[in-house]
Homo-oligomer: A and B are copies of this chain.
Amino acid sequence: MNRPLILVSNDDGITSQGIFNLITVMKEIGEVIVVAPDSPQSGMGHAITVGETLRLEESKLFEGVTAYECSGTPADCVKMARHFLLKDKRQPDVVVSGINHGSNTSISVLYSGTMSAAIEGAIEGTPAIGFSLADFSHDADFSHTHEFIKKIVVQVLQKGLPKGTALNVNFPPKRNEPLKGIRVCRQANAKWVEDFVERHDPNGRRYFWMTGKFVNFDKGEDNDEWAIANNYVSVVPCQFDLTAYATIPVLNEEWEIL
Give the interface of A toward B (CB within 8 A): 40, 42-51, 53-56, 72, 75-76, 79-80, 82-84, 107, 109-111, 116, 119, 123-124, 151-152, 155, 159, 161-162, 164-165, 168, 181-187, 189, 191, 193-196, 199, 205-210, 235-248, 250-252, 254-258
Contact = CB atoms under 8 A, between A and B. Distances in A.
A40 B155 CA distance: 42
A207 B53 CA distance: 6
Q: In the complex, which of the residues A191, A206, A236, A243 has the most CB atoms of chain B within 10 Å of its own CB atom?
A: A243
Quick one: copies of this chain in the complex?
2
- The dominant DSSP class at the A interface is mixed
Contacts of A187: 241-243
A210 B162 contact: no
B248 A238 contact: no
A21 B116 CA distance: 32
A255 B184 CA distance: 10
Contacts of A124: 191
Contact of A162 (B42, B184, B244): B244
Nearest to A199: B53
A168 to B, nearest CB: 8
11 contacts: A45-B46, A45-B47, A46-B111, A83-B196, A189-B241, A237-B243, A237-B251, A238-B244, A239-B242, A239-B244, A239-B247
A242 B210 contact: no
Given A80-B196, A83-B194, A196-B80, A45 B116 contact: yes
B257 A151 contact: yes
A47 B54 contact: no
Contact of A48 (B80, B111, B251): B111
